[in-house]
A and B are shown apart, each in its own frame.
Chain A
Amino acid sequence: MTEENTVQTLSTGAAPADPTTPLVEVDDLQVTFTTANGDVHAVRGVSFDIYPGETVAIVGESGSGKSTSATALIKLLAGNGRISGGSIKVEGKDITGYNEQQMAAVRGGIIGYVPQDPMSNLNPVWNIGFQVREAIRANGVAKGKKDIEAKAIEVLHQAGLADAERRLKQFPHQFSGGMRQRVLIGIGLGADPKLLIADEPTSALDVTVQKVILDHLESLTREKNTAMLFITHDLGLAAERASKVIVMSQGKIVEAGPSLELLQNPQHPYTKQLIAAAPSLASRRIHSTVGEHLTDGVEGPDMLTLAERHEDSEAAVEAAPVVVKVEDLRKTYMIRRGSFKSDPLHAVDGISFDIHKGTTLALVGESGSGKSTAARLVLGLEKPTDGQITVGGVGMADASSKQLFDLRRRMQVVFQDPYASLDPQRSIGAIIAEPLKVHKVGNRKSRDARVAELLDQVALPSAMADRYPNELSGGQRQRIAIARALALKPEVVVLDEAVSALDVLVQAQVLQLLADLQAELDLTYLFITHDLAVVRVVADAVAVMEKGKIVETGATDEIFENAQQEYTQRLLDAIPGAGIEFGA
């Protein structure tokens, strides 16, 4: 990574544009949104420069103002937002007073933009060719039908779509996420802008696809000496791709500097906190902090104790009884093709694994690998086509509905989306007590007491019981979902991407909570995720899934240090910032 950064620095030196005058100067930028509840100051005095050919990354959590700062550069703020102070100079000219017409010349031509979500940023009713040509015509880079067509093909070629001629006639739904993002990058770079703003350009994509796209973007911008402004929540990605990193929090810049120096030697407590919380391949399994503080990053973990603990835990894993046993599990869906034909889709194709009591098995895979289907099968939310799932000695396939109902007490689930997993019309107390009510545990009074106890276990005030989910943040909602899952004192908890939607600091907090609860209640976790960096800190064992099959299993450290399968190795290599040692 260090090498890459140096190369980038050198190549910029040979740029035709004057590399010593900044391309974009942002000075004391303030952005205000007018809402029903008064003004919200989203950006409060942000200043930075971007030089020609330079790659700058703005890193921050949601609500830090990073995306707002970027959209202010091209004045595409939401209707209720306005630049309330400071100046933005592009090539020396202040654009804060520009009207729509003047801005049209800046957008696309000088500053290109790649939006976040490739799934919703292409219009589904127009074909790809139309949308690319539209952008080219608007930017005035080509005139005449033929020239525009030729330019569209060239742009898509550049963006890495080899068979662009054929694909022009296709529609967005015929493209994968990665290909759509390439189209958007092509549109963003279509008019050879001097600066490309990429707002979380790959956060919706699988890691391996993300790496390919980012590599391509990097070589493309280097070739054309385009400056880049990356907006990201991922510190590793920022460190790997940018020469300069700006860390934002609550609308202000907290720390800014050369990326490697900043990440290895952070000065501000917030940056330190952020870096300590980011799971990376160098991190170790989080252990319960109950009674000790091993994971306290500032003091530095005691390696010897860690190693001993690790050996202990490995031995313990072997000794612990198997709680969940999955044998040759299969699930086949019939996908309708045309009116009468249907093709089988083997979503889960003969997988087997064991989970020992009190340990965590991570089921890892990219989208479409069948990991979520596997979770639903284990939970009994769907019937397997074939195979056997045994939980605590009870086989699910031949269990009666009474047995299945009892089995649910022993196995609970936490889902991915904290905003969709709690019924908005029920109070927090009712949500947590629901499993108790369904299983007719206790009376009203004892249930209320249990709710208070559970809220305490997930570190939330018991006063929250008569509030509603809309008052809570994503992380707090996820803790409520965990409390609900624990209500019946289950043995097994299935965590289906349970921390994927959370910001790093909150994610670290929830992961720590999960580790504490595991130690305290001897819980067994099945952890479904796409994020290998998170796997490293939570799992004792890993099973890697690809196209419905498990391609590799083993103890976490074994897999991470010495992956046997090429696919696993590819997943590991694709993690942004994998090779960077973070300081804290």
Chain B
Amino acid sequence: MSDRTVEHYVAPIDENAAVEVDKVKLSERRSNLWSDAWRDLRRRPLFYIAAAMVVLVTVAALFPSWFTDVDPTYSDLSKSNAGPEAGHPLGFTFQGADVYSRIIYGAGTSLSVGVLVMLITGAIGIPMGALAGFYGGKVDSILSRVGDIFFSIPYFLAAVVVMSVMPSKNVLTISLAIGGFAWASLARILRAEVLQVKNLEYVMASEAVGRGKFSTLMRHVLPNALTPVIVYLTIALGAAITAEATLSFLGVGLGNVMSWGNDIADAQSSIRVAPMSLFWPSLALTLTVLAFIVLGELLRDALDPKARARR
């Protein structure tokens, strides 16, 4: 190195002249978490398929008469297990009722169970998780132990027990039986998220401004911890529809109410002679549940900027 001098290189000044420090660059496109997530969702074909399915089921549940004129309860025993014919595209059940019409009218039951379970799970799980995570200490100990007790009971088994002793079996009771035991995992997820968010400086800043603890929780902590909750609840909605069908199939579900689960249960006795009357309601159930679960997964990706970057 002694015989080598380090030259002093200076880049041509005009091309790299000093720039204004920390220049404000506001893009034309406004951006925040929700608008970015929406933009991401709109670019994914799977989103349209899942969303279309969800919309279809919702419309069928609200306005079944738009889809069929056939009375789902009208039974013609001479048509028992008959195949498709004009006006009855999917054939007949064992009792001679129209399969297509029963699927359309059954959507309402499935969807309302799903939505109710979602609401019940959220109504118990969100406060439990948020309060436990945010206040910590004794509050956390008590709420988390209560959660652990429910967590340790398999919610499906509990629902079977509750439904078999329930005097009236309707949409509300079955939703309570499922949702009342399924909220514990939601509370756990939210608690973990709140624990992480509450240590961020903007939460401290809010308290330094003079905002009270509870107000800070509602205003800053909860909105920023809600992403996994939304994803979980979307998937839970699909799972609740399956749970209702399974309970109905086991005979502890909705009794006389028309639902996909009941139809599947009724069709099993004649599965050898008329498999299609079991196949169609099962397909409706599977596609609906799949749509909700896919939607949940897509939401999870869209709301997580890091997952967006990975793709």
Contact = CB atoms under 8 A, between A and B. Distances in A.
Interface of A: 9-10, 12-13, 19-20, 35-36, 51, 53-54, 243-244, 249-250, 252-258, 261-262, 267-270, 272-273, 379, 381, 405, 408-409, 412-413, 415-417, 420-427, 434-435, 438-439, 460-461, 463-464, 466-468, 470-471, 473, 475-476, 481, 484, 505-506, 508-509
B85 interface: no
B69 interface: no
Most buried by B among A13, A413, A417: A413
B24 A434 contact: no
A438 B211 contact: yes
8 closest A-B pairs by CB: A257-B8, A468-B32, A408-B210, A421-B201, A415-B201, A269-B18, A267-B10, A475-B22
Given A435-B209, A438-B210, A484-B205, A476 B3 contact: no
A408 B212 CA distance: 12
B210 A405 contact: yes
A268 B11 CA distance: 7
Given A257-B7, A262-B8, A468-B31, 9 more contacts: A36-B308, A53-B1, A250-B16, A257-B6, A268-B13, A381-B204, A425-B223, A468-B33, A471-B30
Contacts of B17: 269-270
Contact of A476 (B22, B30, B33, B224): B22
B22 A505 contact: yes
B201 A416 contact: yes
A12 B1 contact: yes
Contacts of A466: 30
Interface string B1-35: 11110111111010011110110101100111100
B201 A244 contact: no
Contact of A253 (B9, B22, B200): B9
A509 B4 contact: no
Interface in B262-311: 308-309, 311
Interface residues of B, number: 41
A254 to B, nearest CB: 5
Nearest to B32: A468
Interface of B: 1-4, 6-11, 13, 16-19, 21-22, 24, 26-27, 30-33, 200-202, 204-211, 220, 223-224, 308-309, 311
A261 B8 contact: yes
Contact of B309 (A36, A53, A476): A36
A161 B206 CA distance: 44
A349 to B, nearest CB: 23
Main secondary structure of the interface of B (DSSP, over half): loop
Contacts of B204: 381, 413, 415
Contacts of B7: 257
A425 B1 contact: no
Given A256-B8, A425-B223, A460 B202 contact: no
B32 A470 contact: yes
Contacts of A463: 26
30 contacts: A10-B2, A13-B1, A19-B1, A36-B308, A243-B6, A249-B16, A252-B16, A255-B8, A255-B9, A255-B11, A256-B9, A257-B8, A270-B19, A272-B18, A381-B204, A381-B207, A408-B209, A408-B210, A420-B201, A422-B202, A423-B206, A425-B223, A425-B224, A439-B210, A468-B31, A473-B22, A475-B21, A505-B21, A508-B21, A509-B22
A188 B11 CA distance: 33
B303 to A, nearest CB: 11
B33 A424 contact: yes
A35 B26 contact: no
B9 A470 contact: no
Main secondary structure of the interface of A (DSSP, over half): mixed
A205 B261 CA distance: 63
B211 A506 contact: no
Contacts of A54: 1
B8 to A, nearest CB: 3
B24 A509 contact: no
Contacts of A379: 208
A35 B308 CA distance: 10
B138 to A, nearest CB: 16
A269 B21 CA distance: 13
Contacts of A51: 1, 4
A420 B220 CA distance: 12
Contacts of B30: 466-468, 471
A173 B13 CA distance: 49
A36 B308 CA distance: 8
A415 B204 CA distance: 9
Contacts of A20: 3-4
Contacts of A13: 1-2
Nearest to B8: A257
Contacts of B33: 424-425, 468, 470
A268 B10 contact: yes
Contacts of A258: 6, 8
A212 B234 CA distance: 55
Contacts of A438: 209-211
A412 B207 CA distance: 10
A416 B201 CA distance: 8
A323 to B, nearest CB: 17
A420 B18 contact: no
A20 to B, nearest CB: 6
A350 to B, nearest CB: 25
